[in-house]
Amino acid sequence: TVQDPESGNALVDMIAPIAGSKGTGMWTVQEALALGVPLPTIAQAVFARDLSAKSDERTAAKERYGCEHAPFTGSDRAAFLEAIRQALYASKICSYAQGFALLKTASERYDWNLDLGGIALLFRGGCIIRAAFLERIAEAYRAPQPPANLLMDDYFAGKLAAYQPAWRQVVTTAAASGVAAPAFSASLAYFDGYRDAEGPMNLLQAQRDCFGAHTYRRTDKEGSFHFDWLG
């Protein structure tokens, strides 16, 4: 642990819990919204920074609601730390999958012909998002048949399958302990939503048609349809 030379405490504990931002994340999320690309992990990371800036409001909310984090009660602390590592790795895969999906969509929309594998290798050269598995991302996008999404790559799919139990354990433990873990939670929701071919969106579209006559598509035939739900 890095020690603060002034107080003698751990330096990280002397840093105000307010995360700065230079706008890159905001711009990324704005572009994702414009292109219709789901980017929940990155969006939640941006929102978490924005929320951290509201220091006075958070202090007042703590006084109103309290903020007692339940202590870890498990018998194997080392095992839980390993679960956190696996949850972080799985969440990072989803974050990169979302980011590269945005690049892929923009490339197709604007005819940029981006070399996604080359971009992955470029990120190694000092970019804030550099990571060891960028080599794996480059390999995935330079394969004869690149995946539609990194979640469909064999290497990353294997990691997600292996780490999924720990991932769910960490997210549920954080929620039960009153610890906000927005990026972990958003990543898991993205993963679950991506692999669910059915999902609950039929209910949402039914509501849109009921309250706004936005129509819906059917599972048994082509076309757009509207139903008089309140008639």
**Does 137 have pLDDT greater than 80?**
yes
**What is the rounded CA–CA span in Å between residue 94 and residue 159?**
11
The fraction of the chain above a pLDDT of 90, given in percent, is: 77
User: 66, 150 in Cβ contact below 8 A?
Assistant: no
62: number of CA atoms within 13 Å, CB side?
Answer: 10
The answer to whether the predicted template modeling score (pTM) of the entire model surpasses 0.85 is yes
| 188 three-class SS | helix
Residue 146's pLDDT is 95
Q: What is the pLDDT of residues 153-179, one digit of tens each?
A: 999 999 999 999 999 999 999 999 999
Alpha carbon distances (Å) from 18 to 15, 64, 196, 213:
8, 20, 36, 44
